[in-house]
Structure 1
């Protein structure tokens, strides 16, 4: 089976015929599209979100996380949770449902196990990206979290198609992902109507070039990937672990004291966020 031909065929199918989603994903996309309307009202969003129990639970969990609830004032109703985290974050969570459930329950057990590990990694990268955007690159933290949520979407989609291409989950599957991520990811992000700035950030991630000093949304995403202690199961690394330039190089990029301070002070926030984002 030729990898390049498989990736090109899947990319062509996405571009020409779109994608068929399960009911829960279609509802999440509907919510996301509703939130694109600047006149969208919180009550209308809450009413629609109530029909998606997974998304509802994650919204309340995120609203009660350290990042959005530093003073420990817990809430348990959906409308208050939406008001606390904001509509932009609800839109990010809707995309999280899409990404996570893209590789749903109908895939083989080996693919499902990879999807679980991939989501744990994605959630941690998203949480770290939010903190780094606020503390290092001074960019929109919610946009950074959005980029972290969708940066592995090609991997999720390929796992969802594993039954259509027998044998791709072999020992060289991670090499397949490395060589085909952009081929599949670019049309996938377009079909999903992911905003252009987020697509540009993911494109930077695929390039793998981290600017010095980090300044863009793509740099923020790459830095979060570099610092993430939860490795992606789909990427080949020389040391067998998560991607890393080494602490010395990262310290040169953002400063040793600042990096240590960020990692220490944000540990609870990142752990709380990543837990809330796990589906």
Structure 2
């Protein structure tokens, strides 16, 4: 570990250890999205109330309507323009994912991320791809809840996102050596990721899936949400900016052999699911 990495670790560790629901630092413009996430947890919430909350955030409304009209949710092609109808078609769980996607999107566009915008953009792009793939893998290959798989995909790198925001906000000098910063964030990510997801009151199954995404159960089709997330991360076309490119390719080859997935199998799956994957990614990203 380099001196620069040790310096970054020393700076970020106190923030990593003190993560709590009352001190999470997200973009102020994301408040409406976080309110939606909390509202979804209310067992007494009805669709009318949810539609009113969604309508209060124009960007989120646009995402919900776009997802309602996606190939994955609207194979008939009958367009919906009314937010309430869109909310009813999409349902509670996917709206939580859309709200979280909006929160991350606003975070990466915030002024605090200006000095590390390229890294934040790469993390965002990968999160969207992993979320879309998680949803389609769950729907096509398993009986596990696709909506929760999508949520796990969109938040799977939230710990890194959070730490990058802390560095940009409180320790801008660390951004001068992004390789050292990346190594430090990678060291702290596992602990911080779980803490941030817990502070956001996400389901325990989602938190467990994110925590276990680095280990594959070994069976196909995937047997758990963490297996789905592992496979989606493996399939994602956007390279993880926290991984060395050569290391990633070597790992993909080794993992592919272990999974019994050759390039033809991957190509066939992506080709058969391409419209669904693209439509979900577009709804999350737009």
Contact 1:230 1:242 in 2 (8 A): no
Deviation at 1:138, TM superposition (A): 2.3
Deviation at 1:127, TM superposition (A): 0.5
Calculate the aligned-residue CA RMSD, in Å. 2.5
Q: 2:59 — aligned with what?
A: 54
Q: Deviations over 1:40-85 (max 9, x none)?
A: 1111111111111111111111111111111211111111111111
* Aligned partner (choices 16, 20, 44) of residue 15 of structure 1: 20
Q: 1:69 — aligned with what?
A: 74
Q: C-alpha distance in 2, partners of 1:241/1:211?
A: 21
Change (3 A) 1:168 1:250: farther
Q: Deviations over 1:101-139 (max 9, x none)?
A: 334421243412222221111111000001111222321
Change (3 A) 1:174 1:236: farther
* Aligned partner (choices 244, 269, 274) of residue 267 of structure 1: 274
Q: C-alpha distance in 1, partners of 2:60/2:96?
A: 10
- TM (normalized to structure 2)? 0.87
Worse-superposed segment, 165-174 or 191-200: 165-174
* Aligned partner (choices 120, 126, 134) of residue 121 of structure 1: 126
Q: 1:163 — aligned with what?
A: 169
3-state SS in 1 of match to 2:244: coil
Deviation at 1:4, TM superposition (A): 3.3
Contact 2:160 2:186 in 1 (8 A): no
- TM (normalized to structure 1)? 0.89
Deviation at 1:210, TM superposition (A): 1.1
Change (3 A) 1:87 1:151: same
Q: C-alpha distance in 2, partners of 1:188/1:248?
A: 31
Q: 2:185 — aligned with what?
A: 177
Q: C-alpha distance in 2, partners of 1:63/1:36?
A: 21
Contact 1:7 1:183 in 2 (8 A): no
Matches within 5 A, 1:92-241: 92-161=97-166, 162-169=168-175, 170-172=177-179, 173-205=181-213, 208-213=214-219, 214-239=222-247
- Number of aligned residue pairs: 276
Q: C-alpha distance in 1, partners of 2:82/2:14?
A: 45
Contact 1:226 1:243 in 2 (8 A): no
Q: C-alpha distance in 1, partners of 2:257/2:263?
A: 10
Deviation at 1:262, TM superposition (A): 2.4
Structure 1's unaligned 5+ residue stretches are none
Contact 1:18 1:191 in 2 (8 A): no
Q: 1:38 — aligned with what?
A: 43
Q: C-alpha distance in 1, partners of 2:150/2:174?
A: 30
Change (3 A) 1:193 1:102: farther
